[in-house]
């Protein structure tokens, strides 16, 4: 018997409507339905609230045989690689367990469990008791400064663990809208982003301003001046993935320079982060790429500024009351965070933590 069936059976025997139970325990009806049908498992706290509301012991509702006690059914935010298992870090959002696979540079971090992709649904084998899975807040975005924000949030007394997921604009917003992360970072705000943030359900908070532009080798040995030079036969280009802010800016600059129909991007080395762009140039795998000034500063590379951008964190207005979310916002506005990030170079953090207007509106996000 799947875990969630006992909740539904007990609720229906007691004549309690699903909506009524959801409201009583502080969950959305959709989240309670996911627990009841077994597509996700509740956290310890949610299980206690359900048991209390139904007048039952937790083990009467959620007891499971064998290894099930050391595993969780969860929503997998991103599909694993073609492997039989995948390492994941787990966060609880709106009563659901959400798993994020650790890949690329994130693979160096400790995981909460290993996903068994051969099982029915997505079930993760925990590497310790469920009670040991820390309270976690997840931040998706491409700004390296998010690593500093995550660390400083975790360092606060009694603070949650914060996990930075290095994702471009489009992917970060997709994860936020799907309820798979608490924060999404965006920059180079345009009409496409504005359309995704229509309505009053979203809040934008400033993290920093920076210059976006062309990262080149120290001393700019190829004398690259602007996007038009990327069409030269002696210039090798590295480019971010489709949907990223850096990719959108690169395409815009190529169009403005009249580089139309030229296979600049098609022949470019494709990578998935600002740091990867910088490393490709630093290691000689490419001559130029669109990224942000802090990367050039960190790696000792040359930089040709093209546009000033603001990097914002987007969150759902409904989550503002959560202690873990508020802890991140407190750290974001702190002097220690601003001093730390400013010392990296290339970041303007004077407005860090300030509420900002939604794209295409004159209304402040918090107003």
The pLDDT value recorded for residue 97 is 87
Residues 86 and 18 in one domain: no
Structure tokens at 288: 């130029």
Q: Tell whether 200 and 325 lie within a shared domain.
A: yes
pLDDT at 331 (0 to 100): 97
- With a cut of 50, which residues of the chain have pLDDT below it? 1-4, 65-69, 82, 84, 119-120, 360-367
The CA distance from 213 to 303, in Å, is: 7
CA distance 223 to 232: 11
- Domain range for 33 is 5-64
Asked whether 344 and 297 are in contact (CB, 8 A), the reply is yes
The answer to whether residues 3 and 57 touch, using CB atoms and an 8 Å cutoff, is no
Q: Indicate if 126 and 231 belong to the same structural domain.
A: no
Could you give the number of structural domains in the chain?
A: 3
Within this chain, do residues 52 and 190 fall inside the same structural domain, yes or no? no
Q: For residues 55 and 195, state if they share a domain.
A: no
CB-based contacts of 345: which residues, under 8 Å, 6+ apart? 293, 294, 297, 298
Residue 197: what pLDDT? 75
Q: Is 273 helix (H, G, I), strand (E, B) or coil?
A: coil
- Residues 226-283 have pLDDT tens digits of 999 999 999 999 999 998 999 999 999 999 999 987 899 999 999 999 999 999 999 9
| Residues 126, 163 share a domain | no
SS3 at position 105: helix
Query: Are residues 35 and 119 both part of a single domain?
Result: no
Q: Decide which of 16, 38, 64 is a domain's last residue.
A: 64
Residue 12 maps to which CATH number? 1.10.260.40
Q: What is the three-state SS of 223-256?
A: CCCCHHHHHCCCCCEEEECCCCHHHHHHHHHHHH
Structure tokens at 209: 């301003």
What are the structure tokens assigned to 101, written together?
A: 């696979």
Q: Give this prediction's pTM.
A: 0.76
Both 187 and 315 in one domain: the answer is yes
Q: What is the pLDDT of residues 269-315, one digit of tens each?
A: 999 999 999 999 999 999 999 999 999 999 999 999 999 999 999 99
pLDDT computed for residue 67 by the predictor: 43
Pair 300, 231 in one domain: yes
- DSSP letter at 134? P
64, 79, 94: which is the final residue of a domain?
64
CATH number at 181 reads: 3.40.190.290
């Amino acid at each position: 018997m799947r875990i969630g069936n006992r909740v539904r059976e007990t609720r229906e025997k007691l004549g309690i409507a699903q909506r009524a139970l959801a409201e009583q325990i502080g969950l959305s009806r959709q989240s309670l339905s996911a627990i009841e049908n077994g597509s996700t498992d509740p956290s310890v706290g949610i299980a206690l609230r359900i048991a209390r509301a139904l007048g039952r012991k937790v083990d009467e509702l959620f007891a499971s045989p064998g290894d099930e006690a050391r595993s969780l059914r969860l929503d997998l935010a991103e599909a694993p690689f073609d492997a039989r298992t995948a390492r994941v870090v787990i966060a609880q959002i709106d009563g659901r367990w959400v798993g994020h696979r650790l890949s690329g540079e994130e693979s160096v971090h400790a995981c909460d469990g290993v996903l068994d992709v051969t099982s029915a649904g997505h079930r993760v084998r925990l590497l310790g008791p469920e009670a040991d899975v820390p309270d976690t807040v997840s931040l998706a975005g491409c700004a390296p400064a998010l690593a500093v924000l995550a660390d400083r949030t975790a360092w606060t007394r009694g603070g949650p663990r914060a996990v930075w997921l290095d994702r471009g604009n489009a992917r970060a917003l997709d994860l936020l809208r799907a309820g798979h992360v608490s924060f999404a970072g965006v920059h180079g705000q345009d009409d496409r982003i504005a359309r995704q943030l229509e309505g009053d359900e979203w809040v934008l908070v400033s993290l920093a301003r920076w210059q976006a532009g062309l990262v080149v080798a120290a001393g700019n040995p190829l004398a690259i001046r602007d996007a038009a030079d990327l069409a030269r036969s002696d210039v090798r280009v590295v480019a971010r993935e489709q949907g990223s802010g850096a990719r959108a800016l690169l395409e815009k600059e190529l169009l403005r320079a009249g580089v139309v129909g030229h296979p600049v991007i098609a022949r470019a080395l494709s990578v998935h982060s600002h740091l990867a762009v910088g490393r490709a140039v630093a290691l000689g795998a490419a001559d130029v790429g669109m990224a942000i000034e802090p990367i050039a500063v960190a790696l000792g590379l040359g930089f040709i500024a093209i546009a000033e951008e603001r990097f914002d964190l987007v969150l759902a207005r409904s989550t503002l009351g959560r202690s873990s979310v508020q802890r991140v916002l407190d750290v974001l506005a702190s002097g220690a965070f601003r001093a730390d990030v400013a010392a990296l170079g290339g970041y303007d953090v004077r407005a860090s933590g300030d509420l900002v207007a939604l794209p295409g509106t004159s209304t402040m996000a918090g107003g």
